[in-house]
Structure 1
Amino acid sequence: MTVALRGLSTVVPPTVLVQPEVRDVFAAQEGLSRLSQRIISTSFDVSGIETRYTVLGELSRDAHPDEPVFFDIDSGELLLPGTKARNELYIEHATRLYLDAGRAAIEATPGVEASDVTHVITVSCTGFYAPGPDYVIARDLGLPAGVQRFHLGFMGCYASIPALRLAKQLCEADASAVVLVVSVELCTLHLRSSNDPDTIVASSLFADGAGAAIVTAREPEPGERAFDLDRFATRITPVGEGDMAWKIGDHGFEMVLSTAVPAIIGEHITGALEPLFAPEPALVDALSADASGDAIEHWAIHPGGRSILDKVEARLALSEAQLLPARDTLRDFGNMSSATVLFVLRRILDDAASADGDRVAAMAFGPGLTVETALLTVRG
C-alpha cells in the first residue's frame, strides 16, 4: 500500500519581523552586560534570517496599544508577561492558524472534502488548552462527529515527522483513512530579554507559523504534486540530553539551546540516517562513501540554525543547491519549531527541479537529543 502526503499547505501570521530591527530592540534593553550585547549582535547577524513572522501585533512598527503586554514601542522596553498571559494569546492566535492551515490543506487536496477526514493529528510545543486544537478543527471545519483525534504536544522541533509517521500507520491499518495533520507553533510568545546566552540565541531564531497536510492511501489525481511516504526512523544520540531542552517557567517557556548542538548533530547524523536507509543497500553504500547527495536528490533539513545546516551540508557532502530549500526557509521565516520542516517540504514540491520519482530525505532535531527522519518520493 502506498500512502501519500497531499495538500501540503503553510500559513504565517501577518506581522513581519525584520531581523536587524529586532536585533536593535533586544540590544537596547536595560540590564544587559557588554558580553550579552556582543552575543546579541553576533547571534542575530549570523543567523541566516532576514524576516520572521509573529502573532504579536505589538511588535509592528505601527502598533501603539493602550496597554502593551509584550513591547512598549514608545519606551522601547520589552515587557515580561507571565506564562498565563502568554498562553491566553496562544489560545486566541493558534486557534485561528490551526483552522486556516487545516482548511487550506483540505481545499488543496483534490477529491477530498472535510466530511472525508477520519483522523486529526495536531502538533505544538508552544501552548496548551483543552478542549484543544484537535477539537476546534473537528468542530469548525465540519469534520464528521466521530473523527478520531490525537495531539502530539511538547515534543519540540522534530514533532511533525512523528505526526506524519503516525498518520501513515493509521492509513496502513485502515486503507480508507484520511488523516489531517496540522502543526502550529507560536514561538515568539516566549521571547524575552536576558543575559543568558541560550535565551539570546533562541530570541534570534524562533518565529511563528503553521503547516498542514492530508495523509491518505487514496491515489493522487493526475498531475497532482504530492509525496509518497516511504518510511521513517528515530535515533536518540548518546550525548546531548542537556543541550536542547524546553521547560515551562513563570514567564513563558524557557529554551535551552547550547552551542554544542551543531557539533553533536554533525557527529551523529550518519548514524541517525543508517536505520532510515537500511532497507536499500545502495543508500547505505552512498552514506558510507560520503555520497549521500548523489543517491538522494532532495534534502528537507529542519533549519534549526545556520550552523546546523552548515554541519549537515559538510558531513553529508551535500551540494549548495540541496540545502537551498532549508536555507531559504530559514532566511524568510526563521525557525518555527515543528512546523518548519513542512515549509521546507513545500519548497521542494514547488521547485521545478524536483521531478516525479525523486527521493527526498527529511530530518528534524529536538530535545533528547532526538533525530527524526523520513524518506519520501516526489509524485507528479
Structure 2
Amino acid sequence: MPAYIHHIATATPPFLYSNEFACGRMKGWVTEPRAKRMVEMIYERTGIETRYSASDDFLKDDGELFRTLPDGTINSPTTGQRNALYAKAARELAVKLARKTLAECPQFAKGDITHVVFASCTGFANPGPDYHIIRDLGLNESVERYTIGFMGCYAAFPAMRMAAQFCEANPQAVVLVMCLELCSLHLQVSDKPESIVANALFADGAAAALISAREPSGDRPYYRVQGFHSALVPASEAHMAWDIGDNGFNMVLSAYVPDLIGSNIRAMLVGIFAKREMELDDIDEWAVHPGGRAILEQVEQHLELPDDALEMSRRVLRDYGNMSSPTVLFVLKGLLEEAETDRAMTCAIAFGPGLTVETAVFERCGAAISATQKARTSEQAAVCA
C-alpha cells in the first residue's frame, strides 16, 4: 500500500536579515584583517539574499543571548543559554506550523493525526515541541510521538521514511512530520574559515508534511512515495561533523565537501536507480538540498542537468539560506506549488554529517496551475498594473 505526501507547509521565525546586514555584523565581530576580507568574500558568494532567525539580537548590541562587548567582539553564550532560547522559540514555531499545516489541508482534521515525527539537531527539550503540538492543538493524547535528533541536514528523509513505514503498516495512520532548526542560535564567531562559512550559510526555519496511505483528494498536487535510499561518501567522515561544545554546538565544515559530493553523486545515483530499474533520464524534477551554492553547482555539473533543473533549490537558498533539515521540504513544496504537468518523477537529495547522502524518489501527481492559466494570470496582472 503506497504512502502519500498530501501537503507540505513551511514557517519561519519572525526576524529577517539581509545578507548585506549579516555580512557587516560579522565583519565587525571578527578581529583579523584577513578574516574581515574573508567574510566579505564568502558572504558575497553564498547565493543568499535573506535569512530568518529566532533571535533579534543581531539588530542590537545588548541582546538577550548575543552581546557586543566593549572591544567590538561578541560574547559566546553557554550551551545552556542557547538551548533555553531554543526550547522557547521551537515550541512557538512548531505549534504555529502545526496549526498552519492542518488549516491548509482540510482533508485531515486534528483528530485524524495518529503519529507525530519531529526532527531537529539544533536543540533539546523534554517535553519538547512534539509534546506541545499535541497539547496546544488539542490532538488525541494517544498520538504516538517520535523525535529524530542530531542527524543534520538530511533528517527529513529518515523522518519521512519512518512516516511512510507507519502508513504502509497501518492504512489508518496519518503522520505529521516536522523538521525544525534554529541554526542561528549556535553562531560561533571565529577567524577560522570553516566558522565563517558556517555562519554565512545557516539560518532558521521549519517545514511540515502530512503523510498517509489515504487516497489523495485530488484537489491539489501531491507526492506518491516510491522509495528511499541511504549512502555514505567514502573517506569523508572528517569533512562534515556536528558536535556539542560548552559554548553551543560546533560545526566542522570542510571546503572539500562540494567536491566530495560532486565526485561521488553520479555513481551513487546510478547505482540507486538501477535497483529500482530506473535511469537518471527518468527523473523529471530535482529537489536538491541547497547546502550551499557550490554544492548545487557540483550536483548540476556531475549529473549533467539542464541549467534550470535546480532553479527551485537556488531560490530557496536565496530567500532562506540553509535551514538544515527543513530546507529540502521547502524545495519540494515549491515544486508542488509551481507544478504545470499532471505527473513528474521527482528525485530529492540531501547531504549531512558523515558525509551522508539521503535520497528519495517521489511521483508528483497533479498540476497546481496550468501553463495557460499562469499566462492568463500574468496578463491580468499586467493589465491591472
What's the TM-score bracket when you normalise by the shorter of the two chains? Answer: over 0.9
Letter in structure 2 aligned against 1:264: L
What residue is the counterpart of 2:24 in the other structure? Answer: 24
Distance 1:275 1:133, change over 3 A: farther
Instruction: Tell me if structure 2 keeps the 8 A contact 1:158–1:338.
Output: yes
Matches within 5 A, 1:6-17: 6-17=6-17
Alignment of 1:47-62 (within 5 A): 47-60=46-59
CA distance in structure 2 between the aligned counterparts of 1:297 and 1:74, rounded to whole angstroms: 55
Listed one character per residue, the Cα deviations across residues 226-252 of structure 1 (whole Å, up to 9, x for unaligned) are 111110000011121010000111111
Correspondence for 1:287: none
Alpha-carbon distance change, 71 to 324 in structure 1, aligned in 2, over 3 angstroms: farther
How far has the Cα of 1:105 moved from its partner?
A: 1.7
The total of aligned residue pairs comes to 366
Q: How does 1:30-179 map to 2 (within 5 A)?
A: 32-60=31-59, 63=60, 68-72=64-68, 77-179=73-175
Q: Counterpart amino acid of 1:56?
A: S
- Can you list the C-alpha shifts for 1:268-296, whole angstroms capped at 9, x where unaligned? 11233235412443x33xxxxxxx3x421
Contact persistence 2:313–2:331 (CA under 8 A): yes
Matched, 1:250 2:246: yes
Distance of 2:107 and 2:70 partners within structure 1 = 51
Shift of 1:260: 0.6
Counterpart of 1:366 (choices 342, 352, 362) is 352
How much is the aligned-residue C-alpha RMSD, in angstroms? 1.7
What secondary structure is seen at the aligned counterpart in 1 of 2:37? helix
Q: Deviation per CA, 1:77-122, whole angstroms, max 9, x where unpaired?
A: 4331111110000001011111112222222223211111111100
Residues 237 and 271 (structure 1), Cα distance of their counterparts in 2 relative to 1, 3 Å cut: same
Tell me if the contact between 2:153 and 2:352 (Cα under 8 Å) persists in the aligned partners: yes
Q: CA deviation at 1:299?
A: 0.5
> Residues of 1 paired with 2:117 and 2:131: CA distance?
10
Change in 2 beyond 3 A, CA 1:319/1:29: same
Q: Are 2:69 and 2:75, in contact at CA under 8 Å, matched by a contact in 1?
A: no
- Tell me if 1:379 matches 2:365: yes
- C-alpha contact (below 8 Å) 2:224/2:363 kept by paired residues: yes
TM-score (normalised: structure 1): 0.92
Q: How many angstroms does 1:75 deviate by? A: 8.3
Contact 1:231 1:276 (C-alpha < 8 Å) held by counterparts: no
State the alpha-carbon separation in 2 of the partners of residues 225 and 256 from structure 1.
38
Asked if the contact 1:329/1:344 (under 8 Å) is kept, the reply is: yes
Q: Secondary structure at the match of 1:359?
A: strand
1:301–1:341 Cα contact (<8 Å) kept: yes
Task: Give the alignment of 1:202-217 within 5 angstroms.
Answer: 202-217=198-213
Residues 295-334 of structure 1: pairs in structure 2 closer than 5 A:
295-334=282-321
Cα distance in 1 for partners of 2:144, 2:194 equals: 38
Instruction: Give the deviation of 1:311 after TM superposition.
Output: 0.1
Deviates more, 1:304-313 or 1:317-326: 317-326
Residue ranges of structure 1 left out of the alignment (5+ in a row): 285-291
Distance 2:272 2:102 in 1: 29
Q: TM-score when scaled to structure 2?
A: 0.91
Identity %: 43
